[in-house]
Structure 1
Amino acid sequence: MELFDRLVGEQLKTMEQLLFLQSEIERCQSIEEELIELQNEAKLQSVQEEIQQMKQQLKEIQQTFEKQTEEVIRSYQRHYCHAGEPS
């Protein structure tokens, strides 16, 4: 059960990272839209590069989250699905 709790805790931390990064991407995209309207190409390019970097980070965190989900499921199945079986 300790392993399951630890895995769920790690997954919650990853979810926090996902939510934070998604909000940062949204914030930067809003800035991007403003810069497009202002036609400030130099800053626009910088913000677009930052958005691309954050999207890559988001993708990596999503992959980590998926792996953690699989590990949580396996841990749960090992603990609860085999607990009632005779040894």
Structure 2
Amino acid sequence: MSNFNDLVGEQLKTMDKLLFIQSEIERCQELESQILELQKETELETIQEEIKRMQEELVQIHDLFQKQTEEVIQSYQGKMHQTV
């Protein structure tokens, strides 16, 4: 059961990262809108690069989360087969 708990713990940490990055993307997108209104092209490009970088990171973390979900399921199924 320890392996299962460890996997779930890691998955929760990953979910926290996912939620954090999603909120950061929203924050940056709001900044992007404000910068567009002010027409500050150089700052806009920096924010757009940051949004792109975070979106790429979000995809990576999402993939990791999916992998961890599969590991959790496999671990749980292995536990169930051992107890049967």
- TM-score interval (norm. to shorter): over 0.9
Structure whose residues are more often helix by fraction: 2
Give 1:35 deviation, angstroms: 0.5
Superposed CA RMSD in Å reads 0.7
Q: Identity over aligned residues, as a percent?
A: 55
TM-score normalised by structure 2 residue count:
0.97
Q: How does 1:1-12 map to 2 (within 5 A)?
A: 1-12=1-12
Supply the AA of the counterpart residue of 1:12. L
TM-score normalised by structure 1 residue count:
0.94
* TM-superposition CA deviations, 1:15-38 (whole Å, max 9, x none): 000000000000000000000111
Q: Which stretches of structure 1, 4 residues or more, deviate above 2 A after TM superposition?
A: none
Residue in 2 that maps onto 1:53: 53
Q: How does 1:1-80 map to 2 (within 5 A)?
A: 1-80=1-80
Q: Name structure 2 gaps, 5 residues minimum.
A: none
